Amino acid sequence: MKRFANDHPVVAFFVGAYAITWTLWLPAVFSSDREGIVAGLFLLGVFGPWLSAALVTRAGGGSAKQWVREIFKFSIARRWYVIALLFPVALIAVASVLMAVLGVDLQTSLLADERLVAFLPTLLFTILINGGPEEPGWRGFALPRLQETRSPVRATAILGPLWAFWHLPLLFVAGEDLDHGLAGGEFALLILWTIIGIAFGYSVFYTYLWNRTRSVVPAVLLHASFNASNGVFLLIPESEQVGGTYAKISIALTGVVLLAAAALVYTTRGRLGLAEGEEPPDSTDAGPISDTEQGSAQGPTRDERLERVGS
């Protein structure tokens, strides 16, 4: 196992992330009692990618503590904190306009109740437990290794779907309102639409933040802000998020995310925040995931790979 993790760190990371998280989530999927130990295991499941990355790092002879120190850089420009916090709010504002055009009744009065007050506590909860702990694995470990031999767009296109499908068990923990009052085919299409949005929309923003800061902190904050903003600034009561209304919400939110991601890819010419002095590897020169490795004694270094591409 150590040799496999050392030779194929990215593959080992994904296998470990899925295995750890899905094992911890299974009791909540198959149990009607989602309290006590079951709830505790469910919350621990979100740490699966982080734990997997740490184990693979150790198996490869590295220091997990050193890796954590390297990716948690807080001394970055303040604007990245602001962008990570407010960008999701801006996207939901734009999506809300589209929802209104589609005929969804937005209730601005919801901001006057406990929702707005709950934003900061929800943000903190997500940073610590509900989403934020994923990011050291996805963006702090997998993404930089994928980008060693791939362009940012291609690396994101690989990571995005694997990140999206990792969430699959959550669909079966939603309870009786899983389908939101939609027919089976309609709900399946919306689930596919949502997965596409996560894989090729949301993931683009995280890649951009990582490449601009080389810190996982903005990614954690962005993840938390997305989760908290959906609960606070989506001005539709939960009781009304069913049937056609739910479909319009999904179409608008995911559509705006995909358009914004496409615009970011276009305006950055596919670099997604990669520094001007650091040329992305040509996508046609990339090998399979198992060939990606950082600092392996059995393969070329990152600089050698870049020189090879440049030649």
What's this model's pTM, rounded to 2 decimal places? 0.86
Residue 45 resides in a domain: no
CA distance 64 to 142: 14
**Domain interval for residue 188:** 75-289
Residue 153 resides in a domain: yes
The lowest-confidence range among 64-68, 179-183, 235-239 is 179-183
Residues in the chain: 311
Q: How many domains does the chain have?
A: 1
| The residue to which tokens 């606070």 are assigned | 232
Residue 11 resides in a domain: no
Query: For residue 142, what are its two tokens?
Result: 């997998």
The pLDDT of residue 302: 43
pLDDT at residue 206 tops 90: yes
Alpha helices in 214-242 (DSSP H): 217-232
Query: For residue 178, what are its two tokens?
Result: 């899983």
pLDDT at residue 26 tops 80: yes
Helix (H) or strand (E) holding 305: helix 302-310
302 residue type, one letter: R
CA distance 288 to 150: 10
Residue 107 resides in a domain: yes
Residue 47 resides in a domain: no
Going by C-alpha positions, the residue among 202, 199, 200, 219 that lies closest to residue 210 is 219
Residue 237 resides in a domain: yes
Query: For residue 165, what are its two tokens?
Result: 């499908």
Residue 83 resides in a domain: yes
